[in-house]
């Protein structure tokens, strides 16, 4: 069952400061293997900053990040990916001039064992077998996300919703144990949101990936999350089960508000 056992990720007293601006202040939480853990809060609450500290884009001013029991606080993003960390971005980060297939294959790069020297012996060594193995994995991802019809399309020509799906595919290709999703449903219409929510839930339940997700759609968050943490002005104001968060008066005042309760947000 999700939520049992040793935490796969622990953030301990994380603070992040840019000049005189405090983006995060003493943030501590843990995520257990198999959880779908969501981080919510108003704009500017520090959600993406927290994800950036986990992924290595930012180095916290104070505190530590542990992944699978290892202190990864000072590791670069490239050093974290082989450990089993993958992520998507709030703003699309695809190679727009490359095909969908090539974009996804980029996510497998750190898993390649053959270098240029033994790769030159493509037909005699292991490079050909390795490439076929990676392509099989990519094909599984393409089938899972139902994007086989655009596999050869140039990423920059696709609709926004499909590009978000391709970015998720590339993050999955890293073969992560923990995947960080930064607003995967932002800018999508209702049908696209429903599809993306299903993919995220299936990644967690069927593919066994632990998920940390930032998302503003409260309906989606409360429907698929196992646990929710709320940030406000860089501080944790609540952490609990979805129904506990919905009933938390502090959260209602800081984030949900009257409009959200009436379904307007």
| HEC letters along the chain | CCCCCCEEEEEEEEEEEECCEEEEEEEEEEEECCCEEEEECCCCCCHHHHHHHHHCCCCCCEEEEEECCEECCCCCHHHHHHHCEEECCCCCCCCCCCEHHHHHHHCCHHHCCCCHHHHCCCCCCCHHHHHHHHHHHHHHHHHHCCCHHHCCCEHHHCCHHHHHHHHHHHHHHCCCCEEEEECCCCCCCHHHHHHHHHHHHHHHHCCCCEEEEECCCHHHHHHHCCEEEEEECCEEEEEECHHHHHCCHHHHHHHHHHHHHCCCC
Task: Sketch the domain layout of the chain as residue ranges.
Answer: 1-84+177-265, 94-175
Q: What is the pLDDT of residue 258?
A: 47
Cα torsion 101, 165, 205, 72: sign: positive
Q: Which residue ranges in the chain fall short of pLDDT 50? A: 1, 3, 114-123, 258-265
Contact 73, 80 (CB under 8 A): no
Instruction: Give whole-number Cα distances, 51 to 159, 202, 257, in Å.
Output: 26, 22, 25
Q: What is the pLDDT of residue 116?
A: 44
Q: What is the pLDDT of residue 63?
A: 98
Q: What is the pLDDT of residue 40?
A: 95
pLDDT tens-digit readout, 219-232: 999 999 999 999 99
Instruction: Give whole-number Cα distances, 75 to 79, 85, 125, in Å.
Output: 6, 12, 33
Residues 81, 170: Cα–Cα separation, whole Å = 12
Q: What is the pLDDT of residue 263?
A: 41
Q: What is the pLDDT of residue 257?
A: 57
Q: What is the pLDDT of residue 2?
A: 52
pTM of the model: 0.85
CATH 3.40.50.300 fits 1-84+177-265, yes or no: yes
Q: What is the pLDDT of residue 96?
A: 86
């Amino acid at each position: 069952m999700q939520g049992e056992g040793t935490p796969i990720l622990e953030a301990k007293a994380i603070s992040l400061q840019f000049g005189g601006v405090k983006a995060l202040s003493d943030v501590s939480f843990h995520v257990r293997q198999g959880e779908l853990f969501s981080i919510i809060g108003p704009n500017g609450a520090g959600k993406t900053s927290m994800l950036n500290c986990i992924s290595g884009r930012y180095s916290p001013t104070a505190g530590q990040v542990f992944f699978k029991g290892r202190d990864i606080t000072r590791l670069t993003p490239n050093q974290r990916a082989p450990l089993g960390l993958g992520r998507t971005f709030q703003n699309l980060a695809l190679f727009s001039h490359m095909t969908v297939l090539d974009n996804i294959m980029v996510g497998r790069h750190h898993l390649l064992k053959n270098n240029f020297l033994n790769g030159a012996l493509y037909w005699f060594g292991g490079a050909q077998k390795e490439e076929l193995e990676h392509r099989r994995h990519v094909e599984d991802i393409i089938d899972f996300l139902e994007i086989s019809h655009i596999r050869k399309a140039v990423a920059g020509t696709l609709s926004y919703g499909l590009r978000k799906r391709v970015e998720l595919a590339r993050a999955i290709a890293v073969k992560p144990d923990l995947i960080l999703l930064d607003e995967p449903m932002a800018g999508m219409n209702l049908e696209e949101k429903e599809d993306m929510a299903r993919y995220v839930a299936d990644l967690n339940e069927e593919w066994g990936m632990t998920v940390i997700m930032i998302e503003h759609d409260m309906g989606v968050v409360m429907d698929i999350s196992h646990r929710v943490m709320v940030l406000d002005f860089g501080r944790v104001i609540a952490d609990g089960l979805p129904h506990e968060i919905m009933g938390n008066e502090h959260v209602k005042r800081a984030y949900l508000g009257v409009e959200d309760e009436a379904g307007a947000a």
